[in-house]
Amino acid sequence: MTPTRHMHPFRRASTHLLNKLPALALALSCAASSAWVQARELVSVDRPQINMRSGAGTQHGALWSLSKGYPLEVKGRQGNWLKVRDFENDIGWVYRPLVSKKPHVIVKSKVANIRSAPSTGSRILAQAEHAEVLRHLEQKQGWVKVQRDDGLKGWIVRRLLWGW
């Protein structure tokens, strides 16, 4: 007869806990990721055009200009200057009084269908091109209702957009 091995109750409980650690770590990671997504601060350009600069101040050269509504993620601050990141992960600085909290998105795919309702089965009203900036109106089940400058309103699937 083979001897039976009895595991100490503490060791059994800790082994049981160790077996659950990967699932617990994944759950905590997802929760932290969700909190980070919710906590990220976004701004959008609130003038017809502004410069994104290489540093905090007008003495720093302009890297490029950004048009009205262009969404940016705030990564840091220095006085009245914001260190920001755009949808292509480029980093630069913008002057805080020239941006606002008006929600906008930018098309990150080559093209995105603007639909009459939040469904792939709904009618296509128009198409938005890569890097086109749109006003964010509302969000519903993985879709964003957007508005173009010309007034056209419709829905785009969220994964094709970056911003609010």
pLDDT of residue 13: 44
Cβ(134)–Cβ(162) under 8 Å? no
- 117 with 158, same domain? yes
DSSP-assigned letter for residue 54? S
Going by C-alpha positions, the residue among 83, 102, 103 that lies closest to residue 93 is 83
pLDDT the model gives residue 39: 74
User: Which has the closest alpha carbon to 54: 94, 97, 88?
Assistant: 94
DSSP secondary structure code for residue 75 in this structure: E
Looking at residue 22, its pLDDT comes to 54
Q: What average pLDDT score do residues 18-23 get?
A: 51
CA distance 111 to 118: 17
Higher pLDDT, 40 or 25: 40
21 is a domain residue: no
Within a domain: residue 113? yes
Mean pLDDT computed over 95-121: 98
pTM of the model: 0.75
Assigned domain for 16 exists: no
Q: Name the more confident of 34 and 108.
A: 108
Per the model's pLDDT, the better-predicted residue between 93 and 21 turns out to be 93
Where residue 46 sits, what CATH number does that domain have?
A: 2.30.30.40
Among 76, 102, 128, the domain boundary falls at 102
In a domain, 20, yes or no: no
Total structural domains in the chain?
Answer: 2
In 3D, which of 63, 64, 59, 65 has the Cα closest to residue 78?
A: 59
How far is Cα 51 from Cα 154, in angstroms, rounded to an integer? 30
Select from 133, 63, 51 the least CA-distant residue to 94.
Answer: 51
Strands 143-147 and 133-140: antiparallel
pLDDT value at residue 15: 44
pLDDT of residue 162: 98
| Domain that includes residue 125, residue range | 105-163
- Residue 8: is its pLDDT beyond 90? no
Residue 111 is encoded by which pair of tokens? Answer: 């093209």
Is pLDDT above 60 for 29?
no
Q: Which residues pair with 156 in a beta bridge?
A: 144
